[in-house]
Amino acid sequence: MKRTLLLLLWLATAIPAHAAPPSRIIALGWIAAEQLLELGVKPLAVVDRDDYRRWVVRPALPAGVLDAGSRSEPNLELLVGLRPDLMVTDGTLDDLVPRLERIAPVLNLHPFSNRHDNASSARALYLQLAQGLGREAYARQRLLALDARLGQLRARLSTRFPQGVPPVCVIRVGSPTVVWLYGDNSMPQAATRALGLRPGCPGATGAWGVMQRRSVDLAALGDGIVLAIAPLEPAGRLWQSPLWRAMPFVRAGRFASVRSTWTYGGVFSLQYLAEAMVEGIEQLKSPAAGGLP
Amino acid sequence: MTTVAPRRFAGWFALVGCTALVWLAPSWHDGATGLLRLLQILATGPGNDIEAVLFWDGTLPRLSVGLMTGAALGLSGALMQQLTGNLLASPMTLGTSSGAWLAMTCGAVWAPALLASHPDWLALGGAAGATLLLGLLTGLRRLASLQLVLAGMALNILLGALASAIALLNDRYAVGIFVWGAGDLAQYDWHWASWLAPRLILPLFVLPLVARPLALLRLGQEAAAGRGLALAPTLAAVLLLSLWLTACAVAAVGLIGFVSVLAPILARRGGARSLLAQWLASALLGALLLVLADGLAVGVGHWLADSVPSGAAAALIGAPALVWLLWRARGLPDAPVEAVVVPSLARAMLLWSAFAALSLLSITVARAPDGWHLVWPDAAIAWLRWPRLLAATAAGAGLAVAGVILQRLLRNPLASPDMLGVSAGATLALIVWSAVSGVAVQQGGWLPALAGSGLALAVLIAIGRRLAWSPVALALVGLSLSALLDGIVQFILARGSLDVIAVLAWLAGSTYRVGSGAALALAIGVAACLAVAFAARRALSLLSLGDNVAVGRGLRVARARAGFLLLSALLSGLVTSLLGPVAFVGILAPHLATRLGARGAGAQLIGAAVVGICLMLLADMLGRTVLWPAQLPVGLCAALLSGGLLASALALKRSVP
């Protein structure tokens, strides 16, 4: 944290002297890539570039961005050759930072931790990065638009369902037998709250707010709303199985799938998640609170 | 017979009792009402109650699939044993189930549609491919021999390494596969149960047709041929049946080891003599063993509020059971000592320099956004490159030296840290240590690793003493330890904690995160061990000649042997703590050194170390360039490179009479 602050300080003081902010920036993490793109900065290279396009999807990665190797092991020799001005990481490569700093200045963000609120931290980190790159005004404008959009979605839900909707739990499937639930301090849960809804996933979880469960354990969610994030293929035939159809929330018509959205993203992933969730809730057979149909 | 029968019945009774107990225990907390409720559900169907549906569509199909796959694996193992006349042949020891598993992994990554529509044919293709490869390696004439099992076990490691390489590179897809890879029996409908039933029952009608030829085959291949039996069609039919049973089991539930080895051996020990008795007893025992292991997995999973893969539970039960059976075994076959053709001095020099030049050249190969280059690394690259190269080469040298020591000490051409499970012991200790202490697995250090490798060696020595150092017994202990390791690793992976990627990278032998200090420490440690071994080279050559000779020349055999064992355990521990288990380098390097003319113990030690270094340099180059800009771990590349070399050497040796 101290190092991050120092670097930000360095960036703040160094930039006016050099006139131009860093332009050859490499994102050594998907959140880093996302934040840069949301600031209107095109990174020179991104780790696991092709997987980013498949899993994160929004914000879209422009053409011509290079692949910098894998997220856990970026290609250091390639990084040397690319001669970056700045490399942004997102807390998963802490042990590599001393080596990375010999290649170029490193801005090491720590977006996910169980010691802070991940959603508000995402906002702060976005602003910090904007300050460092001299784009603070633009960032504030984007954040205002984000809040306005979230308010708009919240209003849309409350006009459509004036009597309220049941608690919402967002899940992702790993296989027919394994699911992940997004609980406290996860981005999907922050999006749930931003929409004025009650979270329905059970509580305590680790730094990323996610917990792994057996798919049969979903029965414990009762008849609250369950939204599964695409892709759904990993669960295969589970969706057609009698066991799935007997799940209380499926029987109550309160299950929907939502389009592929990154669940470990930065501040704007709240908007993408909220949009996907509202679309999902509007598809439900019986979204409203109260008695079963 | 009268004294054996009650004991035998007691054994069956205990097994059935345990299995029933494990499965019924969860419903006991409700007492009699719980059992009544179960009966009611069985009589009337599940209705709408979620608990009843979970029982009807979760528990019951799980039990059925477990019984069917267990029986299939047991029967498949029994057929394989009868076919080869080899007590240790089974889909697990011959690498066929690994072949099926590799095919399924490839399918999951590159042909998901094919995997979804025809998993059985995909798995059968993989199993048949592995068997063909094994046939190429050993030849049909050597079915009953030790080479079959030893080559099979090496193949098992090689195919397993390939499958994990593919899984590692596609970690997003593989998360689901990993749970399934350990053999997850969890079910959520009757799909697999009804898929398996016809596929397993119909082929059984072939059994009566092959019964007579198989019975004749037991008299020996010549005797069978003498009675006018056409061997090839029978062999092919039985082999195909066995492969099919394995393939169906792997397709339905993933990789489950041990059942196919243990069930037939237990059936024989239980007194099953005739073919029919062996088939029945093996199938029944396989079914019971697997369902018992699965029941335990479910019970422990409930207790931990976590999913425990059934295959991991099977390995946890199976590995000690196999070691125990080996402990009780008598008269296992011995490996023939093969004469090595030593090349002339000029030719040897030429080969050495070619090998060394190639390895040095590999350092200059690099890729960049604009294509391939041959450049000596400049200062900007060198500081990044040298710690990983030093760690990799030191590891290669260390494993090679450990291989030379173990091969000479145990007078076993297949001894090496990976084949004997010494590396697996170190890995296991580090993973358990990391899970208990919370330290990252790479930071576990060499002490727990040494404890693990030392313990593995102690088990090996205890068994080796009893069985006159039978190579196959030692290799089987190694296999058991490695499978035990796999089970525990799969369990940890299935828990889905976030350091899975780190553990996988370490297991695959990545040098990416090795710092300069750690690399230097490893190099110094290996160099010191090599120096000690070289200084004691006379004792090592005496020990490899036999205890009597060594005593006659005035060597204190017990002390020397203990010292060398400690040295090899230390080397394996040092290497494993930094790079994880690296397969095949330790077995290949000593042989390659001998082939290249290093005959005496001292020359072989130095020669093998040089070969180990060169192999790792080549492996590092492959890891850096093949999938650029992504990188493959050097340990994995070294295993594939050396495994491939070993397989082609075996195949070549066979074709030259």
pLDDT tops 90 at residue B284: yes
- Same-domain status, B312 and B391: no
**Spatial contact of B441 and B119, defined as CB atoms under 8 Å apart:** no
Indicate which CATH number applies to the domain containing B641: 1.10.3470.10
Across the interface, whether the CB atoms of A174 and B172 are under 8 A apart is answered no
Chain A from 210 to 239: CB within 8 A of any B CB: 212, 214-216, 219, 233-234, 236-238
The most confident of the ranges A31-40, B14-23, B51-60 is A31-40
Under a CB-based contact definition with an 8 Å cutoff, are residues A208 and A264 in contact? yes
Q: Is residue B304 included in any domain, yes or no?
A: yes
pLDDT the model gives residue B375: 85
Do B322 and B390 sit in the same domain of this protein?
Answer: no
- Token representation of residue A177: 């037998």
pLDDT of residue B2: 40
d(CA B77, CA B599): 41
pLDDT, position A292: 42
Question: CA B94 to CA A65: how far, in whole Å?
Answer: 47
Taking an 8 Å cut-off on Cβ atoms, the answer to whether B54 and A208 are in contact is: no
Alpha carbon separation from B172 to A178, A216, A234, B500, B517 (Å, rounded): 14, 22, 10, 12, 33
**Residue range B457-474: mean pLDDT, rounded:** 77
Q: What is the C-alpha separation between B64 and B186, in angstroms, rounded?
A: 11
Return the pLDDT at A15: 47
CB B582 within 8 A of CB B423: yes
pLDDT (tens digit per residue) in A240-259: 888 899 899 999 999 999 99
B50 at A interface, C-beta within 8 A: yes
Compute the half-sphere exposure of residue A269: CA atoms within 13 Å on the CB side of its CA. Answer: 28
Distance from CA of A162 to the nearest CA of B (A): 31
Tell me what pLDDT residue B202 has. 86
pLDDT at B172: 55
Asked, for residue B495, whether it belongs to a domain, the answer is yes
CA distance A108 to chain B (A): 18
Q: Which residues face A88 on adjacent strands?
A: A27, A107
Query: How would residue A14 be classed by pLDDT, with cut points 50, 70 and 90?
Result: very low
pLDDT digits (tens, 9 = 90+) for A157-168: 999 888 888 999
**What token pair was written down for A168?**
């919402």
Element containing residue B346 per DSSP (H, E): helix B345-364
> Cβ of B188 and A243 within 8 Å?
yes
pLDDT of residue B370: 83
Give CA–CA dist B128/B151, Å, rounded: 16
In this predicted structure, what is the pLDDT of residue B358?
A: 83
Instruction: Using the 3D structure, point to which of B328, B344, B371 is the last residue of a domain.
Output: B328
Residue type, B73: L
Q: How far is A188 from chain B (nearest CA, A)?
A: 19
Higher pLDDT, B48 or B143: B48
Looking at residue B20, what is its pLDDT? 77
Mean pLDDT of B61-83: 93
Q: Please report the pLDDT score of residue B656 as a whole number.
A: 43
Q: What is the pLDDT of residues B509-532, one digit of tens each?
A: 888 888 899 999 999 999 999 999
Please report how the helices B171-181 and B96-110 are oriented relative to each other, as an axis angle in degrees rounded to 10: 150
By C-alpha distance, the chain A residue nearest B298 is A214
* pLDDT beyond 50 at A17: no
In a shared domain, residues B51 and B197: yes
Interface test with B, best of A102, A113, A243, A262 (most B CBs within 10 A): A243
Q: List the 247-286 stretch of A: residues with Cβ below 8 A of B.
A: 247-248, 251
The number of domains in chain B is 2
Asked whether residue B216 carries a pLDDT value surpassing 70, the answer given is yes
- Region B562-577: what's the mean pLDDT? 90
Check residue A79 and give its pLDDT.
94
Same domain assignment for residues B531 and B606: yes
- Residue B150 pLDDT greater than 90, yes or no: no
> Between A78, A207, A219, which is nearest B54 by CB?
A219
Mean pLDDT over residues B146-162, rounded?
A: 78
User: Residue B120 corresponds to which amino acid?
Assistant: D
DSSP secondary structure code for residue B189 in this structure: S
pLDDT value of residue A7 = 55
Find the mean pLDDT for residues B235-250: 90
Domain extent, residue B537, equals 385-655
Percent share of chain A, pLDDT over 90: 51
Reply yes or no on whether the pLDDT at B471 is more than 70: no
pLDDT, average across residues A209-226? 86
State the pLDDT at residue B288: 92
Of B575 and B36, which is predicted with more confidence?
A: B575
| Ranges assigned E (strand) in A139-245 | 168-173, 178-182, 210-214, 225-229
Shared domain for B475 and B607, answered yes or no, is yes
What is the C-alpha to C-alpha distance for residues B432 and A209, in angstroms, rounded to an integer?
A: 26
**pLDDT band of B597, cuts 50, 70, 90:** confident
CA distance B9 to chain A (A): 38
Residue A45, number of CB atoms within 10 A of its CB: 25
B379 and chain A: CB distance < 8 Å anywhere? no
Q: ipTM value, please give it.
A: 0.81
Q: Which of B328, B344, B363 is the last residue of a domain?
A: B328
Q: Which tokens sit at A286?
A: 């019986």
C-alpha R_g of chain B:
25
Query: How many beta-carbon pairs under 8 angstroms link A with B?
Result: 113
**pLDDT over threshold 70, residue B143:** no
B213: in domain: yes
Task: Identify the residue with better confidence: B631 or A20.
Answer: B631
Q: How many residues does chain B have?
A: 657
Q: Residue B381: how many CB atoms within 10 A of its CB?
A: 16
Residues of chain A with pLDDT > 70, as a percent, come to 91
Q: Poorest-confidence range of B186-190, B326-330, B644-648?
A: B326-330
Does a structural domain hold residue B112? yes
pLDDT (0 to 100) of residue A175: 79
Residue B59 maps to a domain: yes
Domain assignment of residue B72, yes or no: yes
Largest CA distance in chain A: 67
- Both B178 and B110 in one domain: the answer is yes
Residue B555, helix vs strand vs coil:
coil
Q: Mean pLDDT across chain B, nearest whole number? A: 82
Percent of chain B with pLDDT strictly greater than 90: 23
**Is pLDDT above 70 for A141?**
yes
CA count, 13 A, side-chain hemisphere, B429:
25
Residue of A nearest to B442 (CA): A95
Residues B120 and B236 occupy one common structural domain: yes
pLDDT digits (tens, 9 = 90+) for A71-111: 888 999 999 999 999 999 988 888 889 999 999 999 988 88
What's the pLDDT score for residue B497? Answer: 55
Q: Which of B60, B169, B307 to mutate to test the interface with A (most CBs of A within 10 A)?
A: B307
Region A170-179: mean pLDDT is 86
Short-list B430, B32, B412, B71, CA closest to B248: B71
B312 and B433 inside one domain: no
pLDDT at A16: 46
**B587-596: pLDDT as tens digits:** 899 988 888 8
pLDDT at A225: 94
Per-residue pLDDT, B111: 80
> Is B222 inside any structural domain?
yes
**Which of A15-29, A34-48, B87-101 is the least confident region?**
A15-29
Which tokens hold the place of B149? 């099992």
Same domain for B173 and B38? yes
pLDDT of B105 above 90: no
Question: What three-state secondary structure class fits A179?
Answer: strand
Stronger pLDDT, A128 or B343, i.e. the higher one: A128
The rounded mean pLDDT for chain A is 86
pLDDT tens, position by position, A183-209: 988 999 999 999 999 999 887 667 778
Q: What is the pLDDT of residue A277?
A: 96
Pair B421, B545 in one domain: yes
A68 contacts B176? CB cut-off 8 A: no
8-state DSSP, A38 = H
Predicted pLDDT at A1 = 47
Fill in the amino acid letter for B201. I
Helix boundaries (H) for B536-556: 537-545, 547-552
User: Is residue B644, in this structure, part of any structural domain at all?
Assistant: yes
> Given this model, what pLDDT does residue B43 score?
78
The domain boundary residue, chosen from B312, B328, B344:
B328
Whether residue B108 sits in one domain with residue B38: yes
For residue A293, name the pLDDT band (cuts at 50, 70, 90).
very low
- Which domains are delineated in chain A? 2-110 (3.40.50.1980), 162-283 (3.40.50.1980)
